[in-house]
Amino acid sequence: MLKQQKITEQIRAHALHLGFDACGFAKAQYLPTEARRLDEWLSQNKNGTMGWIENYFDKRVDPTKLVPGSKTVVSVLASYHHPKHNEQIGVKDEPLISKYAQGRDYHKVLKKKLKHLFKFTEELLGGLEGRIFTDSAPVLDKVWAKRAGLGWIGKNSNLLNKDIGSFFFIGEMIIDAELSYDSPVTDHCGSCTRCIDACPTDAIYEPYRVDATKCISYLTIELKEKIAEELQPKIENWVYGCDICQDVCPWNSKSVIAQFEDLHPRSYVVDRDLSFWENLTKQQYDEVFEGSAIRRAKYNKFTSNIEIVQENIQKN
């Protein structure tokens, strides 16, 4: 047991050495409560056009089916916060891009670091089977981070951490090694409802429940067709994603600056006036957003969002 604990702490220490802001460990097992809640949410069509969430349901709620032989889920957090982000809070007269998408595509950044962590763990144990993930497979990442003691899931459905807020990415290693497991932390949202009160579309229809079909992030990224007319004014000036429910969260007053420089905002993405976005060509889109998560929205969707935002700004 002492050796197991020592190995666990060595892995955690190396994760922090690599630049992750936190690392926790949970036993890989079936998630009955989450399976019930997810099934209920899907049956109410709260996922909208994101049909992929319905795929691989059994693997999504049981990592031992996703990675046969797995015993441990190692979760890591990587902040993407930057002081420049504070300048964007409350801005109404220019297009806004969600903070997480202002730097390099996080999938690329975290996977590279997770590969190093996996190799270190493999060498430490003298062999290892498993896989790494960063929002790229049927993994309930917030649930596993919660079980690993890295925070609690707040009323806006984001993972919250007392020390670093919620402006971070989550990654995992699901491995066949048995390690020492962390204990979940308690919920610290209390009676606060700032995220619920601030959402322009009422997407947080009750504490801890989000209707994706009303969420600005869904409307500006995942929804392939044009946003419904009645919802267009409510996206305000967000052309890609939304940070409102996180910006108002008191715990984000403690956000830590991203250690991975690739996640810092790119000036040529955020330091643009409205006229640039209005006249954005396909070639400019490809050049500006090379290696960016924003490419998920595709050019036609992005420019459609800009048209809506332009009209909202003019009316503001």
Q: Same structural domain for residues 132 and 17?
A: yes
Q: Same structural domain for residues 164 and 233?
A: no
Length of the chain counted residue by residue:
316
Q: Same structural domain for residues 92 and 216?
A: no
DSSP 17: H
171 is written with which tokens?
A: 């990654």
Give yes or no for a contact between 170 and 139, defined as CB atoms under 8 angstroms apart.
Answer: no
Among the listed residues 149, 126, 138, 148, the one whose alpha carbon sits nearest the alpha carbon of residue 67:
138
| pLDDT above 90 (res 90) | no
Q: Same structural domain for residues 202 and 126?
A: no
- Per-residue confidence (pLDDT) for residue 238, from 0 to 100: 97
Split at pLDDT 50, 70, 90, the class of 85 is very high
Higher pLDDT: 136 or 161? It is: 161
Give the sign of the dihedral formed by CA 122, CA 125, CA 129, CA 133. negative
> Looking only at Cα atoms, what is the longest distance across the chain?
64
- Per-residue confidence (pLDDT) for residue 1, from 0 to 100: 64
| pLDDT above 70 (res 2) | no
184 lies in a domain?
A: no
Q: Same structural domain for residues 150 and 227?
A: no
- In whole numbers, what is the pLDDT of the chain averaged over residues? 95
Give yes or no for a contact between 125 and 175, defined as CB atoms under 8 angstroms apart.
Answer: no
| pLDDT above 90 (res 14) | yes
Higher pLDDT: 246 or 315? It is: 246
pLDDT in tens, 178-194: 999 999 999 999 999 99
d(CA 288, CA 114): 27
Last residue in a domain, options 114, 141, 175:
175
Give yes or no for a contact between 69 and 176, defined as CB atoms under 8 angstroms apart.
Answer: yes
- Per-residue confidence (pLDDT) for residue 228, from 0 to 100: 95
Assign 73 to helix, strand or coil.
strand
| pLDDT above 70 (res 294) | yes
d(CA 261, CA 20): 12
Give catalytic status of residue 135 as yes or no.
Answer: yes
Catalytic hit among 39, 62, 93, 135: 135
Q: Same structural domain for residues 135 and 166?
A: yes
Strand order in the sheet with 168-175: 22-27, 72-79, 168-175, 130-133
| Number of structural domains in the chain | 2
156 is written with which tokens?
A: 């806006």
Q: Residue 11 is part of which domain span?
A: 2-175
308 is written with which tokens?
A: 């809506």
Q: Same structural domain for residues 201 and 309?
A: yes
- Per-residue confidence (pLDDT) for residue 131, from 0 to 100: 97
Q: Same structural domain for residues 98 and 211?
A: no
